[in-house]
A and B are shown apart, each in its own frame.
Chain A
Amino acid sequence: MTNVRTTEAKLTRDEMAQLVARDIPAGAFVNLGIGQPTNVSNFLTVQQGVTLHTENGMLGMGPEATGEDIDEDLINAGKIPVTELAGAAYFHHADSFAMMRGGHLDVCVLGAFQISQAGDLANWHTGAEGAIPAVGGAMDLAIGAKATWVMMSLFTKAGESKLVETLSYPVTGLGCVSRIYTEVAIFELRDGKVFVRSTHGISFDELQAKVPVELTWA
């Protein structure tokens, strides 16, 4: 599926995760955000040799722990019990975020509410009246890695595009997103332009009609 430009059907969540996993370079250090991005780890191969970072202080994170392997001192950023792989390392919170902010991670995969064509990301706060704000590591993750990729459904429940000209939701990070994986298309963002790498269950023209930014085939 890697080199296919169009498919008849929309991508399933697993297919999206599989595509992201295939795009992660061999040997990369990667942080997978909470939610959909976590599923990417299920499709990474041993041969890829990818090392997972979790911002609460670990490199070399293994799969979710089950049964007797559950250890309350060994959790991921989503507070789910996980396991450690050979070669794992632990470090404190300031080191963990310095590692991220310092550009040592190759790829970070996140979810999003909205992304602008300039790569501005909104994923921490809806801005709704009365909502209690919570940011966690979202702003650090957005701007820290060498490449920030997003996985999301392209449209809201009301059918509005989450890929927009300018954000209407509060910003998480400016100009940080370089690639977006959605169920209907994969986008590359470069120099303020939006390129379409592939379409799924939709034609390029239909896609362009639903997305309020100018699209170009990659």
Chain B
Amino acid sequence: MAPRIASTAADAVAEISDGSTILIGGFGNAGQPMELIDALMDCGATDLTVVNNNAGQADAGLALLIKERRVKKIICSFPRQSDSWHFDQAYRAGEIELELVPQGNLAERIRAAGAGIGGFFTPTGYGTLLAEGKESRIIDGKGYVLETPIHADFALIKALKSDTFGNLVYRKTARNFGPIMATAAKAAIVQVDEVVEIGSIDPEHVITPGIYVDTVVALGGEKE
């Protein structure tokens, strides 16, 4: 089924409810679906579990959700940055739970969820603090740690464009977590610069096939 084409970012996130687990794309500002995050802020949903590479920067987007204590748990690889003061404060106050995951394991756990994999043995993190409490195994003389998939209710993603069937094309390093997050959520919500007619994206150029995409909103290329 073709995705719903939402008229605004607020309309796109309207179904997100309290207690949801949400994958949020982006690495730094590249690929960060800022307008969707702002809409999530406005829609009032709380008690959220958020999966992102970081834990918010400065006074925008995810950082504001954390500041308002709408995020009960964050699963990320790199929460501590020079401008992550809202996370730092919430964490030190014991008001947010942190699950720290090595970046490649984070990506693979998301990929596994979308691919129907129940778990995988990875060498990353073996013998470290981040493997404590996890099953480990020696395979052909090398140590591995069992990691499990990260499933989510929603994914918020930014792509360059979508056709009306939800086939997505990304732009440069803004692709990052987008394609895997689209596969791992029950509903993938995508903000794009433009929605184009079906057939106008060369099938050889499609990065995320429309099967994974549930809602698309066109927000134009220019920042507000």
Collect the chain B residues with CB atoms within 8 Å of residue A93's CB. Answer: 27, 103-104, 107, 176-177, 180
> Is B80 a contact partner of A56 (Cβ separation < 8 A)?
no
Question: Given the complex, which residues of A lie within 8 Å of B31, measured CB to CB?
Answer: 73
**A71 at the B interface (CB under 8 A):** yes
Whole-angstrom distance from the CB of B34 to the nearest CB of chain A? 11
Q: Within the complex, which residue of B30, B108, B143 is in contact with A74, where a contact is CB–CB below 8 Å?
A: B30
Q: Which of B77, B129, B173 makes the CB contact (< 8 A) with A54?
A: B173
Given known A56-B30, A57-B175, A92-B177, contact A174–B103 (CB-CB < 8 A): no
- The total of chain B residues at the interface (CB under 8 A) is 47
Residues of B within 8 A of A73 (CB): 30-31, 171-174
A25 within 8 A of B: no
Q: Interface majority SS on A: helix, strand, loop or mixed? A: loop
Q: How far, in whole Å, are A50 and B88 apart by their CA atoms in the complex?
A: 39
Cβ of A56 and Cβ of B27 under 8 Å apart? yes
Q: Which of these, B77, B101, B180, contacts A94 with CB under 8 Å?
A: B180
Report how far A74 CA is from B28 CA in the complex, Å.
11
B104's contact among A100, A170, A171, by CB below 8 Å, is which? A100
Query: A50 vs B174: C-alpha distance in the bound complex, in angstroms?
Result: 24
- A165 to B174: give the CA distance in the assembly, Å: 42
Complex contacts, A75 vs chain B, CB 8 Å: 27-30, 173
Question: Is there a chain A Cβ closer than 8 Å to B212's Cβ?
Answer: no
What residues of B have a CB within 8 angstroms of the CB of A79 in the complex? 27-30
Q: Is the CB of A139 within 8 A of B128?
A: yes
Contact yes or no, B175 A137, CB < 8 A: no
Interchain CB contact under 8 A, A94 and B108: yes
CA distance A199 to B77 in the complex (A): 37
Nearest opposing residue in chain A for B223, CB measure: A72
- The segment from B10-18, B37-45, B119-127, B194-202 that touches chain A is B119-127
Contacts of B127 in A (CB 8 A): 171, 173-174
